[in-house]
Amino acid sequence: MLKKLFQSFRTPVRRPQHLRTTPEVLNSGQHSLQRHQFSRHAVGIVERLQNAGYQAYLVGGCVRDLMLGITPKDFDVATSATPEQVKAEFRNARVIGRRFKLVHVHFGREIIEVATFRANHPLDEEEHSNQSSSNESGRILRDNVYGTLEEDAQRRDFTINALYYDPVTERILDYANGVHDVRNHLIRLIGDPVKRYQEDPVRMLRAVRFAAKLDFGIERHSATPIRELAPMLREIPTARLFEEVLKLFLNGYASDTFEMMVDLELFEPLFPASSEALEDEPTYTHTLISEALINTDLRVKQGKPVTPAFLFAALLWPALPARVLRLQSRGMPPIPAMQEAAHELIIEQCQRIAIPKRFTIPIREIWDMQERLPRRSGKRADLLLDNPRFRAGYDFLLLRESAGEDTDGLGEWWTAYQDANDSERRGMIRDLGGKDEGAAPGAPRKRRRSGAAKRKGADAASGAGE
């Protein structure tokens, strides 16, 4: 982690800041990329578009990742052809329009995204265009202005994402010194960082995501404005933030991503309640979230399924106790207080990140399970074992314990119970006596606190920022 924080504030390697109007061209001998490394479908699309008289290139993440020896997630094509012209070339093409119009060309399960060159839109030109718009803080709200290849390069977020590969000539076109930054492991915004973050604050999250995934440093000028601009994330539509948060935490680098987010103060605008818990109970909160994320990263790397519900359950859990206590102090009994706190917390969180119902329901079930796991007498233990949410609930209990929560050996008990045969199980229940009846506090119980009361990320940041 220290290495990462250090990298985040590394002095930029000397490099001219200007954007090129003519690209640096790297011929096949000057880079390591080879046509056959790219999806043959994507290469086929580029060839076809070029044969039809359009400009077309492979672009973005696939070029970047292959230069780094990483297998790309997907292959994107950029072209001078409009979506309609692209569609006319391919029978298996569909025009889709979310934030901007794109064409998806389908080859069985593989989808190649083909985007028309777009222009950035400087704020002062706003009134001259009826196709782009931005709000008073400079955020781009609509973004469908077609442009030249050069303009397309300049409106991209990071230099490393603005490399164009022509599989026909096997040349790389580099308008923003992206090759230099790929080779020096730097995340650097194209253009003026403040302006680019104001246009789209999600770029701050993307900077962190790529830094964690690629193990790159964020170049100093791109890192410095983040803390101040982080609150702009509150203006981003909550549904987009849900998608972004999944990308941040389900890409196999969640634990590093989280550290950087806390350090750069990007966590607070997304998870205000958890951030408060991080202030109030730093060791416990940090450990619980980190453990959950390390575990998630491991599962992603092993190709095992990961559920956003478990992830959000963990991210939000440390924010529950304060709420439960507040309700209890108003006279509400523990269990209803827990239920109400969970309900309120999820509503509050959804004002920042739109967690869909299909996840909020299992989040509540995982939390509810925490109240039920201590109550094991009679047939309760066996009923719980049969509950479809048992596994997630049990894993969550172990997570709480690994963060230092005192559960009176409950995790160990359940581990043994699952391994036990019928008569052993009956014995285990008998041994409980009446012990478990009152043991349903609902809210996380008193936990150990270590002396290191300060947040790890904050400590390291203040040191590394000098």
419 among known catalytic residues:
no
Show contacts with ligand ATP in window 235-264 (CB under 6 A).
Answer: none
Selected from 6, 17, 32, 73, the binder of ligand ATP by CB under 6 A is: 73
Binding at 174: pick from Mg ion, ligand ATP, none (beta carbon under 5-8 Å per type): none
> Taking the complex as a whole, how short is the minimal distance between the CB of residue 191 and ligand ATP, in angstroms?
10
Stretch of 69-77, 256-264, 318-326, 426-434 contacting ligand ATP, by CB under 6 A: 69-77
Q: Would you say 79 and 117 are in contact if contact means Cβ atoms under 8 Å apart?
A: yes
Residue in 65, 143, 152, 157 annotated catalytic: 157
Q: Is 406 helix (H, G, I), strand (E, B) or coil?
A: coil
152 among known catalytic residues:
no
Binding at 200: pick from Mg ion, ligand ATP, none (beta carbon under 5-8 Å per type): ligand ATP
Specify the residue for token string 């000028």: 221
- Integer distance in angstroms from the first to the last C-alpha of the chain? 17
Show contacts with Mg ion in window 6-45 (CB under 5 A).
Answer: none
| Ramachandran region, residue 327 (left: φ > 0; alpha: ψ -120 to 50; beta: rest) | alpha
Angstrom distance (rounded) from CA 257 to CA 212: 6
> Taking the complex as a whole, how short is the minimal distance between the CB of residue 292 and ligand ATP, in angstroms?
22
Regarding 442 and contact with ligand ATP (CB under 6 A), the answer is no
Binding at 274: pick from Mg ion, ligand ATP, none (beta carbon under 5-8 Å per type): none
3-state helix, strand, coil in the chain (%, to 5): 55, 10, 35
Binding at 153: pick from ligand ATP, Mg ion, none (beta carbon under 5-8 Å per type): none
124 among known catalytic residues:
no
Show contacts with Mg ion in window 66-95 (CB under 5 A).
Answer: 74
- Cα 178 → chain centroid: 23
**Nearest to 405, CA basis, from 413, 396, 414:** 396
Show contacts with ligand ATP in window 176-195 (CB under 6 A).
Answer: none
Binding at 161: pick from Mg ion, ligand ATP, none (beta carbon under 5-8 Å per type): ligand ATP
> Taking the complex as a whole, how short is the minimal distance between the CB of residue 387 and Mg ion, in angstroms?
39
> Taking the complex as a whole, how short is the minimal distance between the CB of residue 202 and ligand ATP, in angstroms?
5
Q: Is 459 helix (H, G, I), strand (E, B) or coil?
A: helix
Specify the residue for token string 């009679």: 378
CA dihedral 291, 297, 298, 302 (to 10 degrees): 160
Show contacts with ligand ATP in window 123-162 (CB under 6 A).
Answer: 156-157, 161-162
The first and second tokens of residue 414, run together, are 């359940």
Angstrom distance (rounded) from CA 24 to CA 153: 12
Selected from 23, 61, 318, 321, the binder of Mg ion by CB under 5 A is: 61
Residue (61 or 444) nearer to ligand ATP, CB: 61
Alpha helices in 134-271 (DSSP H): 149-155, 178-184, 193-199, 202-214, 220-223, 226-229, 238-249, 254-263, 267-270
DSSP 8-class letter at 103: E
Angstrom distance (rounded) from CA 360 to CA 375: 24
Residue in 74, 166, 215, 395 annotated catalytic: 74
Beta bridge partners of 24: 174
Using CB under 6 A as the criterion, which residues of the chain lie in contact with ligand ATP when the complex forms? 60-61, 73-74, 76, 156-157, 161-162, 200, 202-203
Site residues for Mg ion per CB under 5 A: 61, 74
Residues taking part in catalysis: 74, 76, 157
